[in-house]
Structure 1
Amino acid sequence: MTLYLGVQSSQFVNIRVTFKNSPIHILEKFAFKDVFDAHQHLLNLADLQECIILQTCNRVEIYGVGLNPDYDNLINAWSSLINLPADQVKNNIIINDGEEALKHLVNLTSGLDSLVVGEDQILGQVKRSLEFSRKNGFAGPNLNILFDKTIKIGSRVRTLTGINKGSTSVGSMAVNLAYEYFDDIKEKEILLIGSGEGASLIAKALKQRNMKFFVTSRTFERARSFADTVAGSPIPFETALEKINDNIDIVFISTVAPYYLLTYERIANMMKNRNKGLMIFDLSNPRTVEDKIATLNNIKLVNIDQISEIVEKNVGRRKKEIQSAEKIIDDELIAIKEILKRKSSEPAIITIFKNADSIRNKEFKKALSLIGNRVSDDDVKILEQFSYALVEGILSTPMNNLRKEFTSNKNENELINLALKLFNYEKP
């Protein structure tokens, strides 16, 4: 359905490649290496007046506004920017315009279109994309309104529902559990064993809470590279084991080792020389911490199955909130469309007022020339104010009624054309 953004019927469009319709190895080919250049290219070659590009690890999306957007030009412009055949681009993209594009944007900012329902990260990514385009002059009044409104809706959905409540990754859930378990966790010594994707999620969760930690891996070079890229203080593996013996309080393990890194015998010997407890999170699959360790005194062992169960419950709770989120979205979409309709009527209403004022001014001057010097300067001011009040009094009611009618009328352009025809004015 058409979504008019102005009296000239500018159209809102969205074309995208996401994890929903393309695997990651294909999606990566659609990313723009130079986002600034991509904006300029699309504005120049794709019949767009405004443009915002949203690019994350799970999606590449183009939002635009144009009088008559040509989708073939959009596809060809995207194709030339990423050096892929136009047919391949066409076969992998989803195209929405008008109300469908607006609904997608609201679902996106509300977390309903994310890989993990309700995740918060996308809201920040949308904000940064808007700020980049706004700062560089790529986003104009239409996209500014649409993105500002939909970002607020995304925040409202998260405030009024539980769609973003509870951790949905094993790594962040483990960190949350540790945070809740210790009152003084920031004073604890933490060790992370591993350097893969799972370890990366743990490290990011620790970093987000401003918690310092050591990181180790099979080789020191791998641990150092991980620390430089993600977070943590790298230490050699053997040094890490010595630290467990001495002063480490919490251990997170996420590796793909096919054997136990922490055996019952090793930990039992360590605990003989320790005066404090040890909490271990085994997030490896297969497990790399021997289950029997949980029987030792002053040891708290949490494995991946226990955490996964909690995560699944959180995901289930979030999915139950989708219906509540959709109700909020539907109500807000109605409000946005009414705002856009009122905005669309303003150029015509301004034109009517300007033309009426031009007639008022012309007739006022004509009347003054006929009166001559028979009235004082104060009388002239009174007559001029009278002329303003007369025009305002005549036009205000019909123009306000026109605004109201415009928000509820499905034939917006016909209504505007009729109003302009009544006053014998050209469409602006």
Structure 2
Amino acid sequence: MGGQQDRMTLYLGTQSSQFVNLRVTFKNSPIHILEKFAFKDIYSAHQHLLNSSELQECIILQTCNRVEIYGVGPNPKYEGIVNSWSDLIDLPVEEVKNNVVISDGEKAVRHLVELTSGLDSLVIGEDQILGQVKRSLDFSRKNGFAGPNLNILFDKTIKIGSRVRALTGINKGSISVGSMAVNLAYEYFDDIKEKQILLIGSGEGASLIAKSLKQRDIKFFVTSRTFERARSFADTVAGSPIPFEAALEKLNDDIDIVFISTIAPYYLLTYERIANMMKNRTKGLMIFDLSNPRTVEDRIATLNNIKLVNIDQISEIVEKNVGRRKKEIQSAEKIIEEEMITIKEMLKRKSSEPAIITIFKNADSIRNKELNKALSLIGNRMNEKDIKILEQFSYALVEGILSTPMNNLRKEFSSSKNENELINLALKLFNYEKP
């Protein structure tokens, strides 16, 4: 289990509460291990964690590359959260401990900020994580699992993630071969949604192509050496499955664009096959060979009306984009450092409110008591209009006396290194009990 961090209490809400994060991600666990930590029923998982692990608020973020629990509680015990996680996924506690990374306080907040900014993703700067965080927040908020503390923290970090992308180039340019190939096809054809597209392959590379096509709402056929594999791929990822031989038949005249991403150790599209096919075709054909080793014979590029793009050409563009994104990391980190200061100040200001409200309430109680005493001494010598003027005066007097010191207290609290001492001093000064 990831080492427990030095606890820096973040003051959230009406009392000092601890912000914690427990996670299993692609960084510390391979995909086949990570999958074991996924919650089958997210709603029940939230309920179980809130009922059994001393958390008052909870948000679960679950994607193909990570499973994370964010929580707030007065003094949450990690053992309790780990045990709850173990119960929910039916894994031994020791296995959970060995894979879970734990952060709390400022380090947990920083992790969330880096996550929404795209610095903690498998693909640096990718935009998808921002939408996933928003959806997790919306789900928890709608079902009452996230309270005022996580709401304010997640709202702020989502805005930071958007700001980082707006002010840097961290998300500019495709950095996966599959998405880059789709981008090139999109730029090449103005009317790509009207084109007939075929995807050959059913592995990880093919899934990246399929997801990119799906994101652009582009329809396509998908085929593999066995139809069952093509159908399973279409069910889980995207595309309309088609038998392999039928797909090759469609190449004769129907298909406009072909994406190939397989691990076949031989040419699927040979020069002879395509040369014979092109004799009868009435339109051109664009082929993207993303296989390694290549499965499209290079000589095909010499045929008329054929545009062949291979993996080496696309990888070169991708590498340039990766380099550009890496250069933007420093700019993103600078923004994050600035925002971490504003987050800490925001949370401190928020935590001063209960004490300030208590002081105002007590002052208002004294105001009301003294007003009633004065009115009883005056008796019937004042009409209703005079009483209203006196009452308004009493409100204005309390507000005028307290507003400046309370605003100063808020400012001091946001920059103080010992918030508890300051708030206790303020309450002692006014002779009130801590809320």
User: For residues 236 and 7 of structure 1, do their structure 2 counterparts lie closer, same or farther at Cα, with a shift above 3 Å needed?
Assistant: closer
RMSD, matched Cα: 1.3
Distance 1:228 1:77 in 2: 33
Matched, 1:35 2:48: no
Are the counterparts in 2 of residues 216 and 236 from structure 1 also a CA contact under 8 Å? yes
Q: What is the identity, as a one-letter code, of the residue corresponding to 1:23?
A: P
Structure 1 residue ranges, 4+ long, deviating more than 3 angstroms after superposition: none
**Alpha-carbon separation, structure 1, partners of 2:261 and 2:195:** 20
The amino acid across from 2:37 in the alignment is F
Residue pair 1:4, 1:98 contacting (<8 A) in 2 also: no
Which amino acid in structure 2 is aligned with residue 369 of structure 1?
S
Q: Does 1:386 align with 2:398?
A: no
| Aligned counterpart, 2:66 | 59
Number of the residue aligned with 1:421: 428
| Displacement of 1:7 | 4.6
1:385-411, Cα deviation, whole Å (9 max, x unpaired): 111111111111111111111111111
Q: Does 1:345 align with 2:345?
A: no
Quote how far apart the aligned CAs of 1:226 are. 2.4
Q: Which residue of 2 aligns with 1:321?
A: 328
Map of 2:372 onto structure 1:
365
What's the TM-score once normalised by structure 2's chain length? Answer: 0.95
Residue identity (%): 87
Using the alignment, how far apart are the partners of 2:22 and 2:226 within structure 1? 44
After superposition, what is the alpha-carbon deviation per residue over 1:360-389, rounded to whole angstroms, capped at 9, x for unaligned? 110111111111111222111111111111
Matches within 5 A, 1:215-254: 215-254=222-261
Q: Equivalent residue of 2:102, what SS?
A: strand
Mapped to 2, the partners of 1:177 and 1:95 lie a distance apart of 41
* 1:81-126 deviation digits (Å, cap 9, x = unpaired): 2222222222221111111110000000111011111111111111
Structure 2 contact 200–206 (Cα < 8 Å) conserved: yes
Q: Which amino acid aligns with 2:119?
A: L
Alignment of 1:108-147 (within 5 A): 108-147=115-154
Partner of 1:312: 319
> What is the distance in 2 between the residues matched to 1:78 and 1:219?
39
Residue 213 of structure 2 is matched in structure 1 by 206
Alignment-derived partner of residue 4 in structure 2: none
Q: Aligned residue for 1:280?
A: 287
Read off the aligned partner of 2:372 and give its amino acid letter. Answer: K
Gaps of 5+ in 1: none
State how far apart, in whole Å, the 2-side matches of 1:20 and 1:288 are: 32
- Figure out how many residues of one structure are paired with residues of the other and give that number: 428
Equivalent position of 2:86 in the other structure: 79
1:212-239 Cα deviation digits (max 9, x unpaired): 2222221233323322332222222222
Correspondence for 1:149: 156
Per-residue deviation, 1:274: 2.3
**Equivalent in the alignment of 1:293:** 300
Take 1:238 and 1:415, find their aligned partners in 2: how far apart are those partners? 77
- SS of the residue 1:10 aligns to: strand
Question: What's the secondary structure of 2:213's corresponding residue?
Answer: helix
Structure 1 residue 270 and structure 2 residue 277: aligned?
yes
Code of the aligned partner of 1:220:
F
Matched, 1:14 2:21: yes
Give structure 2 stretches of 5+ with no counterpart: 1-7
Q: 1:76 and 1:237, CA in 2 relative to 1: closer, same or farther beyond 3 A? A: closer
Any conservation in 2 of the 1:252–1:281 contact (CA below 8 Å)? Answer: yes
Structure 1 range deviating more: 257-266 or 230-239: 230-239
- Would the aligned equivalents of 1:158 and 1:164 in 2 still touch at CA under 8 Å? yes
| CA–CA distance in structure 1, aligned partners of residues 92 and 192 of structure 2 | 54
Paired residues of 1:7 and 1:413 also in contact (CA < 8 A)? no
Q: State the TM-score, normalizing by the size of structure 1.
A: 0.97
Select 1:179's aligned residue among 177, 180, 186.
186
Aligned partners of 1:65 and 1:358: how far apart in 2? 33
Q: What is the distance in 1 between the residues matched to 2:116 and 2:9? A: 21
Question: In terms of mean alpha carbon deviation, does 77-86 or 124-133 score higher?
Answer: 77-86
CA distance in 1, matches of 2:397, 2:415: 29
Query: Is 2:419 aligned against 1:412?
Result: yes
Query: Who is 1:403 aligned against?
Result: 410
Point out the more displaced range, 85-94 or 316-325. 85-94
